[in-house]
Amino acid sequence: MTINNILDWFKDLIDIILVWIFLYYILKNIKNNVKLTLIFKGVAIIIILKLISNIFNFVTMGLLLEYVIMWGPLALIIIFQPEIRGILEQLGRGQLLGRHKTLSVDEREKLIYEIIQSVDYLRKTKIGALIVLERDISLSDYIEKSKKVYADLSSELLISIFFPNNPLHDGGVIIQGNRISSACAVFPTSSSPKNAKKLGTRHRAALGISEETDAIAIVVSEETGRVSVAVKGELYYNLTLDDIRMMLIDELRPKQEEDYDDEEINEEEIYEKKD
């Protein structure tokens, strides 16, 4: 094997690795973004229909799908321009991945305890609040446009931020790791037509940020005192404190712990079958 052959092999290997890294980031972002997931499903359905029309020789359907495939990418770029720009900005900044730190079990327990304590007070006194927890997708764009806090999380601080007449009470609070990064954050409201009329501004913003990112958004209604949680593009309305606590425990677990728990469950099932 000559040096040129080795260099060619090495270039091909780097080329394949770069393509896989690019696909990994794209697919991960699609997974964490509700709108992009819907686009991906729509494209998959169109491809399947096109294959069916080719197999059974459906002339009319095939012709229509050819026009869709021809002009569809341009339409998607125009319609979803903000989402595409956001992905490119995140790629450029290297922030597609990366909660600031992986919390230990004790840190997660303290984080959840402080949030539950503050939510309990806010719902009893009917003080409106929007608390957003960053996960893998960075919320730095929203932090840059809000009021910086950068303080250790505590229930007293959260309550004081949302207290009426406090200059910081409008908008939402962003939590990164176990610290409050900013207040007065403004989030995109959900564009879902089924939620447009029945939800208030805070709930639409919570749902919107959960559609755009993998963040967890907790909302306290100032009219009813009811607490809701938006995650993965779904709004869970009128939850109890125990419901919220269990949801946070489950959603904030690192992937490694989830895989470890799954392995333990599989091992238990194997032993049960042996017995």
Of 69 and 120, which is predicted with more confidence?
Answer: 120
Of 269 and 245, which is predicted with more confidence?
Answer: 245
Total domains in the chain come to 2
Pair 86, 218 in one domain: no
CATH number, domain containing residue 195: 3.40.1700.10
Tell whether 237 is covered by a domain: yes
Q: List all residues 6 or more positions away from 54 whose beta carbon is below 8 Å from its beta carbon.
A: 62
Q: How far apart are the first and last CA of the chain?
A: 56
Instruction: Give the residue carrying structure tokens 């909302």.
Output: 219
What pLDDT does 271 receive? 42
Look up the domain containing 244 and give its range: 105-256
| Residue 244 contacts residue 131 (beta carbons within 8 Å) | no
Pair 75, 110 in one domain: no
Tell whether 270 is covered by a domain: no
Q: Given a cut of 70, is residue 139 above it in pLDDT?
A: yes
pLDDT category at 160 given cuts 50, 70, 90 is: very high
pLDDT tens per residue across span 39-83: 777 888 888 888 888 888 888 888 888 888 888 777 777 766 666
Give the three-class secondary structure for 11.
helix
User: Which residues in the chain belong to E strands, given as ranges?
Assistant: 129-133, 147-152, 172-176, 179-185, 216-220, 227-231, 234-236
Tell whether 206 is covered by a domain: yes
Q: Which two tokens stand for residue 26?
A: 């794209």
Tell whether 267 is covered by a domain: no
Q: Report the pLDDT averaged over residues 179-194.
A: 85
Tell whether 271 is covered by a domain: no
Q: Report the pLDDT averaged over residues 90-115.
A: 71
Q: Report the pLDDT averaged over residues 184-211.
A: 82
pLDDT tens per residue across span 222-249: 999 999 999 988 899 999 999 999 999 9
Tell whether 230 is covered by a domain: yes
What pLDDT does 23 receive? 74
Pair 143, 224 in one domain: yes
Pair 205, 72 in one domain: no
- For 193, the enclosing helix (H) or strand (E) is none
Strand partners, 151: 180
What pLDDT does 146 receive? 92
Pair 146, 215 in one domain: yes
Of 196 and 116, which is predicted with more confidence?
Answer: 116
| Percentage of the residues of the chain whose pLDDT score is greater than 90 | 36
